A and B are shown apart, each in its own frame.
Chain A
Amino acid sequence: MIRVSGLPGMMMNRKELPEEIKEVVRLIEQKARRARLDFPLVIFELVNEQEMNGLAATGGFPLRWSHWIHGQEFERMKKFYRYGISIIYEMVINTAPAYAYLLNSNSLTDHKMVIAHVYGHCDFFKNNVWLSHFNPKMADEIADHAIRVDKYKEEKGQEAVEKLIDDGLSILDLIDLHAPHIRRERKERDPVPKEPKRVQIPEGKGYLEEYLNPVEWLEKEREELKKREELERAIEQGLKIPVEPTRDVVGFLIQYAPLEQWQRDLLAILREENCYVAPQGQTKIMNEGWASYWQSKMMIELGLAESKEIVDYAARSAGTWAEYPGAINPYKLGLELWRDIEWRWDTGRHGPVYENCPFQEILENWDEFVVLRALYRKPLWERQWDEWCAFQEALSRGEFGFSKEVWDKKKAVKWWCEYQDLETILSRLENQKSELTEKIERAGQALAGFEADVQNSAWVRQICESDLEDVKADIAFYGSFAAFRKAFNEMKVRFKRRVIPENYLLYLDQSKGEKLEIGTGLEKMFEVRTFYNDINFISEFFTDEFCKRHQYYTYAPGTGGVPRDHYAVVSTDARQVRDKILFMLTNLGKPIIYVSNANHQGRGELYLDHVHEGMDLRLDYMKAVLEILYRYWQKKVHLETTVTQEERKSDPYEWLRKDIVQDPYARTEEEQKRILKGERRIFSYDGIRHEERKIAEVKVQRPFMT
């Protein structure tokens, strides 16, 4: 294995990978490249259960600052492993080169799965824009952090450092997830005084004056203006900190809290590491789905496993996720969504043509319709229509060397598109075949002549041979298409001519203006892989149809007939499900908190704002966090939030709903139920006691039904 210099020994006692695994790695890497995946160098390491747990506990980085939280995580992993609750299935670190770990107790088949999966991840890491701001040398960085933390431990004492990290971990989620993507420019203060702002008064004519500019409105504008001016003056004088509310609470504390240098540095270490990890959380569903998709594809090519098993296998490794109620299995959801995208773009089931289609008959036979649409009014289109009918029938019967087992109705359109392009595909494959044959020959000569590096030539030959097999298989596959074409041209194919229904022609005319391409599934997938993150991935591709077909539903603790300590299905409505998933993904499922003022009441008190999205904070934890913030800020700390539910005193985790308000503007009954009555409250902590003050009554909208 290549030892990359400069990397602070990922594993202390690294062993060479066994030859058989090396071989598998080379094979799968080649397959991944053939599938157009694009990834950096991946270094695999074989570790035992103990090491794997240790790595998982420290987030994959072997040299990480030591803290009991890693120890706790380690013990948890060990327990899970021992009881078979979860087997850490694959672990890969997003660095360049990427590091991936293989569990030595796994079978070779398991290794193959893991390796294929890892290549999927690495492609995603490298190409997704949301992950594009990562530090390729993060492993070095984190090892360096470990050294710094150790140094502080020596200087300041273990207790002090651990306490600071404990506190830091509690507020670690309070960072701005979009921070890596924002390029900030420091604004120089403009020495030229600005034009004073004025109220814009619409000009009116005499008798209209009092209607256009009512006195109350003028008063209000004047007030607003005064407020704005005051604010601007404060900003100019540097009294308004922060200038704009910021979500990066930790970064704000690092900059402004009265901390010592080492404390600042420790916080900065924690923040940096979280900023590295967080974007990966923002693309978890996509990334796991993408990796599972390619894994299943390569596994089928290798003849190893059925795709269903992969989901099961992946689901098992998601055991740690499933522990928490409300967690989605990112492997399964992701994989299903990716497959759905491929299918929809292959068969043109998207866009206005599909969505606005009024004819049930067409929707039911959509594949046929899109094929017709692509042919319609082109030269010889009627003959091609016959060809399509025959093509479909022949393939489903397994004729012309086409394996009946491979027949998948869902893929008919895709194959039809490839069939149209048969000449190019076949000539490309033939070229590849001859290239590979040549390469193999050359490697064979090198081996026979003992000239070049024997090992290397052997590898080359091996890879080329396996590639050649793939190419040959492809040629055989497309060969069946060619055979069909020949037979069709010779009029030797039996088929039933399908009469084009009236509706088809009608709708073809109606939708003439719209553009619709078919057979673009893979292209679309690669595009989505590059530009999307989980949030827009779900909101765009988790369609009503998808939800219905895959039977997703929302659940919550029971109400009505179901006891409180049971879960009950709430809704199977696609919008509900989508809203709930999106809520759970927004800000990684954590509440959104802003620092809005660091000089509250002119006394240097810290003022935080919780943007209430229809879900209350957990109050006891919130108070603990206030205490932590106080330890950093050393002055009174406030947090403004909305409370829509009362804690039940006898049991603080049981929440009582307040009355649901009837909202006159709600259009449907369901929307009406979504409005909750609440109170805006300020919670404060001044180092001695907690205070709570009500400031206003508000109505909030629940993000989903519970």
Chain B
Amino acid sequence: MKGRIKKELRAYLKPGVITLPTKERGIITIPVPVIDLPDLRYGMNFGGVGQGAAEPGQDLGPIATGQSDDAKQAGTKPGLDFVDVEITNEEFLEMLEAELPQIQPKGTRLIDSEDVKYTSVRRMGPESLRHLKRTWKEALKRQISEGSYDPEQPTIIPTKENKRYRSWEIIKKPQNNAVVVFMRDVSGSMGPEEREVVRYVCWLTGLWLKRQYNALETAYIAHDTRAWEVSTEQEFLEHHSMGGTIISSAHEKLEDVINRRFPPKDWNIYPIYFSDGFNWGPDDRKAIERIQNLLPSINQYAYGEIDLERWWWKGTTPGGFSAPGKFGHILANEFVGEEKVVYTSLKNTDDAFDAFKTFFGN
């Protein structure tokens, strides 16, 4: 089942589908549709036999299907049945297969990251970890002592007792100082749906970061026509203002925060910026320049444009952004081939996982 989850992780990572881990259990519950193996069976739902007082033609009520979600189309589709698969946080995060890109050793205050090293040998273990050389050596030793070793015909047959397996140790590797700065547009054009998408990407990123890097700083910046720093994730996600949008203000604030608290020589810096791409026209150039100025001091600049499907937008542009003239479009044109800049467009919450993988996928 776990293999299957990994394969189809994207489909399961929709909001509301997976149950968030609680602190005590540290277990994530993912409902996985029951796999129905095809076989030769009758195609039509031909009903059955029931018991009780009944008259021909009497309505017996709706045909029950597995899940309430499908109740509206009940009877026309085979009942989708789900099982809840429980996996631990660790397994889940491993499945995400992500890391902080382009990280460099910086700073004095080190964050930890865990690593596994194969350093020792054991008698028991999975076959995939069999230590060939040691196994062979053991078998040779045994055969010589038994006298069954023939130098003319040196065939070595290891028995179960001879098998040796690699074993591992978990070592704590000093990692690097890193800070992730979440930035977002809170202006009037960012409606509740847009906010929901941002919230979901932030949740996913936050979940992963917290588990993967024990000591890692986060900062939050919100902006409309001016920018300010907020202290908690909640505040960041819930804030809403009615003003216009000046993107450069947020980046100005970012520079300020970096200079004050996270000097680039000590910190790996990862800003993530979310916006709906509607900027005040004259500010576009200014914002791009600001990003350009920032680039040498940061490790990666990530931009997510919330681009909900609206009826008044038609067609797409090469960067994947739906309307030319929006900030994402300008950004994409400006930083062609620039490794440090990643960007993506999010149509709905389903894209959150893709966005996450774009930002941090290894």
Chain A partners chain B: yes
Which residues of chain A are within 8 angstroms of B77 by Cβ–Cβ distance? Answer: 651, 653
With A327-B48, A555-B48 known as contacts, the answer to whether A593 contacts B40 (CB < 8 A) is: yes
The answer, among A72, A569, A581, A653, for a CB contact under 8 Å with B76, is: A653
State whether the Cβ of B98 lies closer than 8 Å to any Cβ in chain A: no
Interface status of A326 (Cβ within 8 A of chain B) = yes
Q: Which residue of B lies closest to A75 (CB)?
A: B83
Q: Which of A154, A173, A555 contacts B47 (CB 8 A)?
A: A555
Beta-carbon nearest neighbor of B52 in chain A: A551
Q: Tell me which residues from 241 to 288 in chain B have a Cβ below 8 Å from any Cβ of chain A.
A: none
Interface of A is mostly: mixed
A557 touches which of B42, B45, B57 (Cβ 8 Å): B45
A553→B60 CA distance, assembly (Å): 12
A144 at the interface (CB under 8 A from B): no
Q: Mark B49-74, 1 if CB is under 8 A from A, else 0.
A: 11111111111111110000000011
A653: B residues at CB distance < 8 A = 43, 45, 76-78
- Check A663 for interface membership: any CB of B closer than 8 A: no
A706 touches B51 (CB 8 A): no
Report Cα–Cα, A501/B335, bound state, in Å: 109
Q: Which of B49, B53, B55 has the most CB of A within 10 A?
A: B49
Pick the contact of B49 from A173, A565, A580 — CB < 8 Å? A580
Q: What residues on B are CB-neighbors of A166 within 8 Å?
A: 37
* CB pair A569 B83 closer than 8 Å: no
A654 contacts chain B at the CB level, 8 A cutoff: yes
Residue of A nearest to B41 (CB): A618
Residues of A within 8 A of B52 (CB): 551, 553
Stretch from A120-128, A350-358, A620-628 contacting the other chain: A620-628
Cβ–Cβ contact A616 & B85, under 8 A: no
Closest A residue to B71 by CB, please name it. Answer: A565
B160 within 8 Å of A (CB atoms): no
- C-alpha spacing A590/B41, complex, angstroms: 6
* A568-B59, A591-B40 known; A326 vs B1 contact (CB < 8 Å): no
**Does B4 reach chain A (CB closer than 8 Å)?**
yes
Residue A619 at the B interface, CB < 8 A? yes
Interface pair A76/B83, CB less than 8 Å apart: yes
| CB nearest to A613 among chain B residues | B42
Query: Is the CB of A567 closer than 8 A to any CB of chain B?
Result: yes
* B contact residues, total (Cβ < 8 Å): 45
Would you call A618 and B60 a contact (CB within 8 A)?
no
Interface residues in B218-240 (C-beta closer than 8 Å to A): none
B residues less than 8 Å from A169 (CB atoms) = 37, 39
B38 within 8 A of A: yes
Which A residues from 165 to 179 make CB contacts under 8 A with B? 166, 169-174
Q: Are A326 and B47 in contact (CB under 8 A)?
A: yes
* Proximity string of chain A (170-191) to chain B, C-beta cutoff 8 Å, 1 when within and 0 when not: 1111100000000000000000
- Within 8 Å by CB of A565, from B51, B62, B83, lies B62
Nearest neighbor of B45 in chain A, beta-carbon distance: A557
Q: In the complex the two chains form, is B45's CB within 8 Å of A325's CB?
A: yes
Residues of chain B contacted by A359 (CB below 8 angstroms): none
Q: Does B169 contact A (CB under 8 A)?
A: no
State the Cβ distance, A595 to closest chain B Cβ, in Å: 13
- Which of A76, A566, A572, A647 is close to B54, meaning CB atoms less than 8 Å apart? A572
Query: Binary interface profile of B, 298-327, with partner A (CB < 8 Å = 1, else 0)?
Result: 000000000000000000000000000000
From B37, B38, B41, B47, A325 is in contact (CB under 8 Å) with: B47
Contact of A560 with B57 at beta-carbon distance under 8 Å, contacts A75-B1, A553-B51, A581-B49 already known: yes
Partner of B51 from the list A332, A566, A571 (CB cut-off 8 Å) is: A332
A370 to B64, CA, bound (A): 48
A618 adjacent to B43 (CB under 8 Å): yes
B127: Cβ under 8 A from any A Cβ: yes
Give complex CA distance A570, B34 in Å.
31
In whole angstroms, what is the CA distance A332 to B50 when docked?
11
Contact A555/B50 with A72-B83, A568-B59 known, Cβ cut-off 8 Å: yes
Q: Is the CB of A645 within 8 A of B44?
A: yes
Q: Which residues of chain A have C-beta atoms less than 8 A from B49's C-beta?
A: 326, 328, 552-555, 577, 580-581, 584
CB-contact partner of B127 in A154, A591, A619, A654, under 8 A? A154
Whole-angstrom distance from the CB of B125 to the nearest CB of chain A? 13
Q: Which residues from B are CB-within-8-Å of A580?
A: 48-49
Q: Apart from A566-B62, A621-B43, A706-B44, list 5 A-B contacts with CB within 8 A.
A: A553-B51, A554-B50, A567-B62, A591-B40, A591-B42
Instruction: Give me 30 A-to-B residue pairs in the complex whose CB atoms sit less than 8 angstroms apart, sorted by A's number.
Output: A69-B35, A75-B83, A75-B84, A170-B39, A171-B40, A172-B39, A325-B63, A326-B47, A332-B51, A551-B54, A553-B52, A553-B54, A554-B47, A554-B49, A557-B63, A566-B62, A566-B63, A567-B59, A567-B62, A569-B54, A569-B60, A584-B49, A617-B40, A618-B43, A621-B39, A628-B38, A653-B78, A654-B76, A704-B46, A706-B47
